Structures are given as C-alpha cells and as structure tokens.
A and B are shown apart, each in its own frame.
Chain A
Amino acid sequence: MEFLDTLIVLLQSTIRVSVPLILAALAGLYSERSGVFDIGLEGKMLGGAFAAGAVAAITGSAWLGVLAAIVVAVALALVHGFASITQRGNQIVSGVAINFIAAGATVILGQAWFHQGGRTPPLSGGARFTTIDLPFAAELADVPVVGAIYTNLLSGHYTLTYIAFALVPFTWWVLFRTRFGLRLRAVGENPGAVDTAGISVIWLRYRAVICCGILTGIAGAYLSLAMTAGFVKGMTAGKGFIALAALIFAKWKPVSVMYACLLFGFLDALSIRMQGHRLPLIGEVPVQFMQALPYVLTVVLLAGFIGRAIPPKAGGTPYVKER
C-alpha cells in the first residue's frame, strides 16, 4: 500500500504542476492552429500571474484576480496580434519582445506598487483559491484503492484545475465540431482558401489570438492564486516554453497536448520528489540533474522520438494577398 500512496502523491503533484502547462499549451494551440506562432506564451502567463496577484491583493477577490489576468494577457496577445497580423511583422521577434516586456514590467510595477522586491503581498482567505472536495470524497476515503484514487487524486484540486481539464475536450470540440474551429484550422493551413471563401483572415486570426490570451491569463492566475499565494518575479520559470514544447510534441492536437503536459508535469513532480532521495546503485542524484531532467527529456523527445511534427502550413507567415 505504501507504493500506491507514494504513487498517488506523485500523481497528485503531477496534476498540480501540469495545469498551467495544459492551459498555456491549449492557448498556443488556438494561436498556432490559426497560423500565428506564439513564442510569447511565457510572457503572457507572467503578465497574467502578476495582474492576478496584484488585483487579488487589492480587492481580496480571487475571481477578480482571474479577470484581471485575462484582461492583461489578452492585451499582450493583441499586441502580438497587431504586430504579426495587421503589421505583418516577424512573429518570433514579437513573441520574444512580449516575454521581455512582461519579465521587466511585472517587477517594476510590483516594486512601485507594493515595495516588496517585485512580489505582490501574500494572499489569504478569499483572495486566493482553495482546493475543493468532490462529493462523497470523505465518505469514500476508506474504501481501498478506489477511495485513495478518488479522494486523494481526483478530489481536492482547485476549481481552475477542473476547468483546465474540461477545456481539453472542449477545445477538441471547438476545433473539430464548430464552424469557428473549421475556419481556424483552415486559416492556419491555407489563408488564401479562407479569404476566397469570403471570410476575413484578419478577424479570424485576431479571434484565435484572443482565445490564446484568455487561456494564458487563466494559466497565470493559477500560478499566483492557486499554486502559490501571490506573485513572485519570474514565477513562470520557463513553463511557457515547456508548454510550447508540449504543443509541438503533441503535434497541435488537443488531447495529445494534455498527455504531453501530464508527462512533462510528471517529470517535474518526480524531480521534486527525488530531491535528497538515494537511488539503489546510483546513490544520491544531484538536485540539479533532477531539475534539468524535464528540459533534457524535452530536447530528446523533440529531437527523435515523435517523428516529424508538421506545423500548420501557413504558420509564421503573415497573410498577403498574392499579386
């Protein structure tokens, strides 16, 4: 039974760390499926996390914090959209710029407003999210195996966690069962086909970018309102890039995105769990090695194991009517 408990703790923390990855990767999926590459997931998440932390600290309401995160991330997404859709700029450069702006601006504003070295004040009570228990969690806790799984693994997460996982099938449904999804996929492959069908390429891509903003905002809010109690500078710590890697790894498919994020989340959870533990034959594994593992694995997986990941054909190129 001890092994099961360990496993469940490990999986529980896998879910915890996977949520921002899933949200960010789904965000990237909307944007990139429409043909707008987004390397600025990290920056939008960071901006969202800061806005959530700041607004929740001032208003005392976590949900107002989420709202603020969404507003800020959408605003950053629109900057990216304006640069890469309307002005037909380079999408990578624009994305990198957003990452820098977010990294700098959050610290400067945080210091100016709260004077805590770039942090927002610690949150408590209604200003942060608490975990919720699913119905009958307490009653089922003593049932062997099933109880452990239900009570400790499936129950006891944040509302945002359940939202994130619900967004996976929802995104699939949007992409493959709605008009918006059909057009979104089409515009990422051949914007000319969309334009000649009488649909505005620009408006369609803007909507995709806005979807991306909303989801990165939620991802950011999760970081500062649920996973921790308050914003800390640079708290995204590369999660936006890991999400991007997961998106490519999953070949831009929603359900695969979830699995990829869970895998990366698992490695992350494992690296935390393994710190200070001794492995048979090997001895104590250096902390740095464990921390580097997810990134190393990302490189290895992307380099060889997934076959060719073919991005949306029109990705990265602004649409210009051919002359």
Chain B
Amino acid sequence: MSDIAIELKGIDKSFGLVHANRDINLRVRKGTIHGIIGENGAGKSTLMSILYGFYQADRGDILVDGAKTDISGPSIAIDKGIGMVHQHFMLVENFTVLENIMLGAEEGQILTSGIARARNELKRLENEYALEVDPDAIIEELPVGLQQRVEILKALYRGAEILILDEPTGVLTPAEADHLFRILAQLKAQGKTIILITHKLREIMAITDEVSVMRRGEMVATRTTADTSVEELAELMVGRRVLLSVEKGPANPGEVKLSVRNLTVRDSRGVPMVKDVSLDVRAGEIVGVAGVAGNGQSELLQAIAGIRRAETGNVTLNGRPIDVTGEADPNELRHRGLAHVPEDRHHMGLVLKFEEAENSILGYHDDPRYLKSFFLDVEAIRADAAEKCARYDIRPPDVRLKTANFSGGNQQKIVLAREMERDPDVIIIGQPTRGVDVGAIEFIHKRIIEMRDAGKAILLVSVELDEIRSLSDRVLVMFDGHVVGERSPETGEGELGLLMAGVTDQEAAE
C-alpha cells in the first residue's frame, strides 16, 4: 500500500495537430482533494478522460495504487475504483434516478432482483453520505444540482474510491456550489480521494489540499494549497504576471455619439423591461451599466442594436436618429458605425459550426473587401481572419477550425476582433468576459480601454460589478427597467449594491 492513489508518468496525447497533453506527470495522494487548474483548453479534461479510460494516451503510464494499470476503457477505470462526474452530465434524461444509477452495474440479465438491491444500496449511500435524492424521480425533472448528485451517487454505487469532478460548479448557483463543496469535504473525511478540475481560483483556494497547474497541455507546477496564493496560481496558469486590476488613464470625453431618450422596451412576453431610460455616451468614454441580471440591461442593448423593437423613445447615433420603434435594421446600423458585442456569443455572436474565418466576417460579408463580384473571396477572408487572429492572440490561430472548438475566451476574442476592427464610432458590449478565462479577461479589458482611448464611445453592460467599476468612466445603475442612479466608478461597492437592490438614489448616497 502506498499513499499515492494515482500516479501519471509521461502522459502524452494529440488529437490531430492539437497536442492536448505533453509529457504529463502527476501524483495524487490518497484521501486528499487535489485540484487541477488551468485555463480553458489547457488540457485538463483530456488528461482526466485518459485517466477514466475515455481516451487512450499516445504514451505514458498510469499507476493506480502503485501498480501500473492499462486503462483501455471506462469499464476498467470503474473496476479500479475510479469514478468521474463529467462536465456535461452523462445521464439518460428520461430515465429515473435508479435506472441511471444501475446502468452498467445491473448485476444479472434480468433486472428485478438488481432493482431491489440497487434501491437498498442507494438508501445506504444516501444515509452514509447525506446525499438524499428520490430514486424514482425522472432526471429531466430534477434541478441541475440534484442531477449532479445523481452523478456522484452513480460513481459511489460503483465503489469509486477516487472521484474525478470536471468543472463541477460551472452549472451550479453559488449556493449549490457551496453545498457541493460540503459534500466533497465529507467524502474526503471518509477516505475518498478527489480530483477537482476547475478554472476558478476561488474554488481551488476554498477546498483543495494540493493543486496542480496546467498550461497549454503541460503540467507546469504542483503546490500545496496552503502555501500558495491566488496571484501565484494565476501567474502559473497564464504564464506571466496577470493584472487582476485594470490600468487606465483619465478619459477625454468628446461629443455625444450615442444618445438615448425616454426609451421603453417590452420583452417577448409583453412585459415592460426598459422603462423611460435616457442616457448619453460620448466619444472617448466608457459608460457602464450595472445591475442584477434581468433588470432590463439585455433589452436595452437589444433595442439600441436594432434587434428588439422599442415601444417608445428616440435614439440617435452620430447625431442621426435610429428608428428604434420601427424598422431599425441591425445591418444598416453596423454600416453607420455601431458595433455590437452581444451578451450571448453562442446564440447571437457566432455560428459555432462555422469556421473561424467565416465567423470573423459574419454580418460584414457584403463588404467589397471580402467579395469577388458575386462570390465570396475566400482567400481574402482567410487572410483577413489570420491577421485578426494574430492581433487578438486568438488560439489556436487556425482560421479553418470549427468555432465550437475554440475556448470561451478565444470565441469572445473572435467576436471582439470582428466588431472592433471595423473602426466603429460606438461600441455596445454585453457581458464581455462571461465564461472567459483569466488571461483572456485581462486581454479583453485592455482592448476595451484601447478603444476608448482611440475615441470610441462605449456602452458596457455587465453583471460583474468589479468589471463595471474597473472599466467604466461613469456608472449607471439599472433596477426594474429604470436607470436609478449615476455614480463615479470610485463609488464604494456597498453604495452601488444598494442601488442595484432598488434603494432610492438619495438613500443610497446617505
């Protein structure tokens, strides 16, 4: 018996040209929570999928309990006591909890006796680990947190001693995430070994004993969590010092580029979401709109961008009116100098099945630069995309790769590059760093500041208050469809928080 549960030696794995894992060495001690952190696309999930037998390594050895083991499929991993909770749950949605837990571990050709045994065993596990779940509930009717619990139970039911969790908090609310961490702490107390994959530094600091950092397919360091810091881990992840705060000089506001007067917008159900909002954005300034999600910020952006029809109100762009209550045409607005980085890049900003180059001209495909008489000039488009890749550090710089294969941060950079490289006058940006990793956040923030300094008028909507405060020159707070106050970005978080919660302007100021 060694006290090392898992040891990986020289694991190497490529998918075509992508070298996902390079010569990885890792030791996970028994009875600990071992974090693996890295940016999106660093190769964490691939490494764990190799350990679970989902992929086979091109080279390298896996040692389980000190013995070299050839994990050629998930069934062998399960046999060796390795369980995995996947990022996207591997559950059959129209099956019951019990059926999902039994699947693959039915014990016998006919289910009847297996069902009874599974039911008892599930009861025992529920009691032992305080993981209650109704065995007869249908998966798709359960909230995400409970579905994840079923995944954990599935692994425990198969006798897992080593539990791998791949980005488990990505789909959870903060409260659910805290609950998950309590469960993990308890599993650890009962002697289980846990490997936690994440790209969130907070989680690593909160719960792990040791942490290994991956960067671009390599394992760059392993630290004892107690002896490291958020700054050190961030630097290891990105490979250079990361500025967690943004540096920017004072703004030089010029003339009003975007003016909104008395705008009222209803959502698709007919509920008024934006109520009588007026605001101005000047050249060379960033106006941040803070607020809890769902207080009308999305509809505000959509109405200005011409995607959603407004009920009443006037909007002018560069001094000329936009017909926001009628036939405002997003395409026309783009050509008049309005760039839009939508809140949800997957649904509005990109076509994930397209190649990178195709997405990099989406909406601007009628630009003569990309055309050869009636046809698209594919060569020109790709050359242009490659140039943007270089300028925006989009990785991998492969303009023919399907966009879905880029990490969140790189997808966002594709959208930014497309919108900003058009030299617009006004840029409206929603949630610029949602689902984006640390290194890319810094890059995106820098670009936004650069655009401001180049004299663009920028309207920024974000639910991240820190982001609003560090980027904006003026902060507007939205609550229940109204702009309830304007503050300088130096205003304390407490006061902005009160405004966001609907406390009146004066009360908040006092």
Tell me whether A and B are bound partners: yes
Q: Contacts A190-B93, A313-B93, A323-B15; is A196 near B102 (CB within 8 Å)?
A: no
- Partner of B110 from A177, A313, A323 at Cβ < 8 Å: A177
Chain B, 109-161, CB within 8 A of any chain A CB: 109-112, 114
**A contact residues around B104 at 8 Å (CB):** 183, 194, 197-199
Interface SS, B side: loop
**A contact residues around B110 at 8 Å (CB):** 177-179
Give CA–CA (A183, B108) in the complex, Å.
13
Q: Contacts A189-B92, A190-B91, A196-B86; is A182 near B54 (CB within 8 Å)?
A: no
Q: Does A180 touch B at the CB level, under 8 Å? A: yes
Q: Does B75 touch A at the CB level, under 8 Å? A: yes
Interface SS, A side: helix
Chain A, 180-212, CB within 8 A of any chain B CB: 180-183, 185-186, 189-190, 192-199
Give CA–CA (A219, B337) in the complex, Å.
67
Contact present for B112 and A182 (CB under 8 Å): no
**A contact residues around B111 at 8 Å (CB):** 177-179, 181-182
Give CA–CA (A313, B91) in the complex, Å.
12
Give CA–CA (A51, B223) in the complex, Å.
70
Chain A, 304-323, CB within 8 A of any chain B CB: 313, 321-323
Q: Does B105 touch A at the CB level, under 8 Å? A: yes
**A contact residues around B7 at 8 Å (CB):** none
Chain A: how many interface residues by the 8 Å CB criterion? 23
Contact present for B92 and A190 (CB under 8 Å): yes
Q: Contacts A186-B95, A323-B15; is A196 near B106 (CB within 8 Å)?
A: no
Contact present for B74 and A189 (CB under 8 Å): no
Q: Contacts A198-B78, A321-B54, A321-B55; is A193 near B92 (CB within 8 Å)?
A: yes
Closest to B87 in A: A322
**B contact residues around A180 at 8 Å (CB):** 109
Contact present for A195 and B54 (CB under 8 Å): yes
State the Cβ distance, B97 to closest chain A Cβ, in Å. 13
State the Cβ distance, A26 to closest chain B Cβ, in Å. 20
**B contact residues around A193 at 8 Å (CB):** 90-92, 100, 103
State the Cβ distance, B76 to closest chain A Cβ, in Å. 8
State the Cβ distance, B102 to closest chain A Cβ, in Å. 7
Closest to B78 in A: A198
State the Cβ distance, A89 to closest chain B Cβ, in Å. 19
Contact present for B103 and A189 (CB under 8 Å): no
Contact present for B84 and A196 (CB under 8 Å): yes
Contact present for A198 and B95 (CB under 8 Å): no
Contact present for A192 and B74 (CB under 8 Å): no
Contact present for A186 and B86 (CB under 8 Å): no
Give CA–CA (A225, B427) in the complex, Å.
75
Closest to A199 in B: B104
Q: Does B218 touch A at the CB level, under 8 Å? A: no
**B contact residues around A199 at 8 Å (CB):** 75, 103-104
Give CA–CA (A194, B103) in the complex, Å.
7
Chain A, 94-124, CB within 8 A of any chain B CB: none
Chain B, 44-91, CB within 8 A of any chain A CB: 52, 54-55, 73-78, 84, 86, 88, 90-91
Give CA–CA (A185, B77) in the complex, Å.
24
- Partner of A198 from B15, B55, B74, B86 at Cβ < 8 Å: B74
State the Cβ distance, A156 to closest chain B Cβ, in Å. 35
Q: Contacts A177-B112, A179-B108; is A195 near B95 (CB within 8 Å)?
A: no
**B contact residues around A182 at 8 Å (CB):** 99, 102-103, 106, 111
**A contact residues around B84 at 8 Å (CB):** 196
Q: Does B488 touch A at the CB level, under 8 Å? A: no
Give CA–CA (A321, B45) in the complex, Å.
13
State the Cβ distance, B55 to closest chain A Cβ, in Å. 7
Give CA–CA (A146, B86) in the complex, Å.
60
- Partner of A190 from B52, B78, B90 at Cβ < 8 Å: B90
**B contact residues around A195 at 8 Å (CB):** 54, 74, 90
**A contact residues around B75 at 8 Å (CB):** 198-199
**A contact residues around B105 at 8 Å (CB):** 197
**A contact residues around B15 at 8 Å (CB):** 323
Give CA–CA (A310, B484) in the complex, Å.
47
Closest to A183 in B: B103
* 23 examples of A-B residue contacts, CB within 8 angstroms: A177-B110, A178-B110, A179-B106, A179-B108, A179-B110, A179-B111, A179-B114, A185-B92, A186-B95, A186-B99, A189-B92, A189-B95, A190-B90, A190-B91, A194-B103, A195-B90, A196-B52, A196-B90, A197-B78, A197-B90, A197-B103, A313-B94, A323-B15
Binding site for B on A (CB under 8 A): 177-183, 185-186, 189-190, 192-199, 313, 321-323
Closest 3 CB pairs of A and B: A198-B75, A197-B104, A193-B90
If A182-B111, A313-B93 are given as contacts, then 14 extra A-B residue pairs at C-beta distance below 8 Å, sorted by A number, are A178-B110, A179-B108, A182-B99, A182-B103, A183-B104, A185-B92, A185-B95, A189-B92, A189-B95, A190-B90, A192-B86, A197-B104, A198-B73, A198-B77
